Structure formats: structure tokens, C-alpha cells
Structure 1
Amino acid sequence: MSKFTPEPTDELCINTIRALAADVVGKANSGHPGAPMGMAPVAHVLFSRFFNANPKNSKWYNRDRFVLSNGRCALQYILLHLLGYDLTMDDLKQFRQLGSRTPGHPEASIEVTTGPLGQGFSTAVGLAIAQTHMSATFNKDEFDLINNYTYGELLLLISVVIGILI
């Protein structure tokens, strides 16, 4: 098992995500910042150390996917902004406002969010099955065309709990 090595900037990054979540949700006067604030450590580590994506090409097919079951959450937008995608601070300030680029559910981005709670789990499983099928169909010996991952917050929570118990 690999050891996790904290970086000196981890705490600042996590607190930045939390502060942005509180500000974005507060400005919208809608929703609550609990999920993005609580998931900030996991999201930061996942997106800074493991997640494979390209802000210059958001439609890159082999990108990793992140499924967030608790929809209407500011976390996706905050992460996209911090990763360098075309999402400005002004866009974050318009979170959940009519006609904004940051509605309650993102329509087009590298992220996936879902409606009813629990629906994200089935979405993540479907994406994982699809990527496994694609890799089995198109990958050849010594040539991995499809090697992306699908992450979901329920699965992350389970893996964190298992990691603590082991």
C-alpha cells in the first residue's frame, strides 16, 4: 500500500475550496455549503494528485469522470475554476442564478452531477461499465487507448472509511 504524503499547500487549498463554497452558496442565497466544505479534503487530494483531465480540452474522451450524487452542489464549479477550466470567478458568483454559466446542475463539463440522491451511484457504475467495455474493445497489447477512471463521492467515502479501518 502506498503512503500518502501531505504537501505544505494542502491545508491552504482545502480551506480555499471551503471558503469559496461558503461564498458561492451565500451569494446565491440558495442551498448549503455542507457537501463542498465537507468534501474539500477528498476533492483536493483526488483532483490534485490522481484526476486526469485537460482544461484545454474539456471533451477529451479519455478523461477521468467525477460523479457527484448530491446535485446542485457548488463543488464541481469550484474545482473546474481552480483546475483552470473556462470558468471565471464572476461565473462562480452567479451560481444558481437564472441564465448563468453555473446553474444548479452542470449541463456541459467534465463533471457529472445527478438529481435524486443515490442516482449518482448508478451513474458512476454505468460510466465504469462503459469505460471497461471500451477498453476491452479498443485497447491492444502495449497500447492503452482507453485507461480512464470514474470516481464517485459515495465510492470515495467508502474507500476512505475502509482505508481508516485497515
Structure 2
Amino acid sequence: MNHLDEQSINALRVLSADAIEKAKSGHPGLPLGCAPMAYELFAHQMKHNPASPDWFNRDRFILSAGHGSMLLYSLLYLFGYGKEGKPELTLSDLQNFRQLHSKCAGHPEYGHIAGIEATTGPLGAGMGMAVGMAIAE
């Protein structure tokens, strides 16, 4: 792991913790603990294109524990996910986490933001969704 990787992981943690603290609501454990794993997947393992999030042959990231959504929002922000080559999330969007009419809801919702592959919430539901998506392809 190089210095840029370490700084990126710390950025994920800080973005997530700050948004959760500002909202006075949320679950910090998953974003803080899983940031290194999630960053490794997005930065070095998964085949994906943030400028073309609907690319057919992409790998899909399903966050089964939807209550850890701030990790996913931070990843999508740092990697510049968006449509037509323009990043969709702004720092202001992250700061409005869990607020009424926010792009960053308490649980990720499919189709609400580029890069969210499934609406999740109930623990364990993501495994079935991921298997179903893999079989469907």
C-alpha cells in the first residue's frame, strides 16, 4: 500500500465520520472499519468506470449492510461516479447525509445516485441480491 492509498483510506474515514457526526445520526463502525477493504476493491480489484456507471461488464459492489451507506457515498464521491462523465455527488451532498430530500439517504437506494447497484437495508439481503445479479448475467 502506498502513501496515496493510505491518504485515500483516511479520506474515506474522515468524510464518513464527519457526515455522520453532522447528521447526529448514522452508523460509523462500518465506514471506519471497512474503508481499507472497500478502497482496495474500488481502486485495485473491481472492473468499473465511474464515468460510465451503467457499463454492462462492470463488477458490482453491493453494500449488504445498508446502514453503513456513508462508506458507499464516500467511495462514489472520491472515485467521481456520475453520468455523462460528470461527478454526481458533491461535498455538500455528503454534508447533507440523512437530511430530508438529500441525495445521501440513510440506506442506499438503487437508481437514486450513479453507482448504487441495489437498495439495501435488511442485514444479509445483499448476498441474495448479488447472487441473483451474477446468475442473471
TM-score by length of 1: 0.71
Give the superposition deviation at 1:57: 2.0
Counterpart pick for 1:100 among 99, 102, 105 = 102
Separation (CA, whole Å) in 2 of partners of 1:59 and 1:100: 22
Give me the whole-angstrom Cα distance separating, in 2, the residues matched to 1:62 and 1:96: 32
- Letter paired with 1:37: L
| SS of residue paired to 1:9 | helix
2:95 and 2:75 map into 1 onto residues whose CA distance is 14
| 2:71 alignment partner in structure 1 | 75
| Cα distance in 1 between the residues matched to 2:3 and 2:96 | 32
Deviation at 1:63, TM superposition (A): 1.8
Cα deviation digits, residues 115-165 of structure 1 (max 9, x gap): 21011111111111112xxxxxxxxxxxxxxxxxxxxxxxxxxxxxxxxxx
Asked if residue 46 in structure 1 is aligned to residue 55 in structure 2, the reply is no
Q: Where do 4+ consecutive residues of structure 1 move more than 4 Å? A: none
Partner of 1:154: none
Distance 2:105 2:9 in 1: 23
Shift in Å, 1:20: 0.9
Separation in 2 of the partners of 1:113 and 1:48? 23
1:110 to 106, 115, 120: 115
2:23–2:96 CA contact under 8 A, matched in 1: yes
- 2:20 maps to 1:14: no
Contact 2:26 2:106 in 1 (8 A): no
Report if aligned partners of 1:96, 1:103 keep a CA contact under 8 Å in 2: yes
Letter in 2 for 1:81: Y
Aligned to 1:152: none
Aligned with 1:67: secondary structure?
coil
Gaps of 5+ in 1: 1-5, 132-166
Q: Is the Cα contact below 8 Å between 1:70 and 1:113 reproduced in 2?
A: no
- Give distance in 2, aligned partners of 1:77 and 1:27: 15
Letter in 1 for 2:4: T
Once residues 90 and 25 of structure 1 are traced to their aligned partners in structure 2, the CA distance between those partners, rounded to angstroms, is 13
3-state SS of the aligned residue for 2:3? coil
* Contact 2:108–2:120 (CA under 8 A) maintained in structure 1: no
| Aligned residue among 56, 59, 72 for 1:64 | 59
2:31 partner letter: P
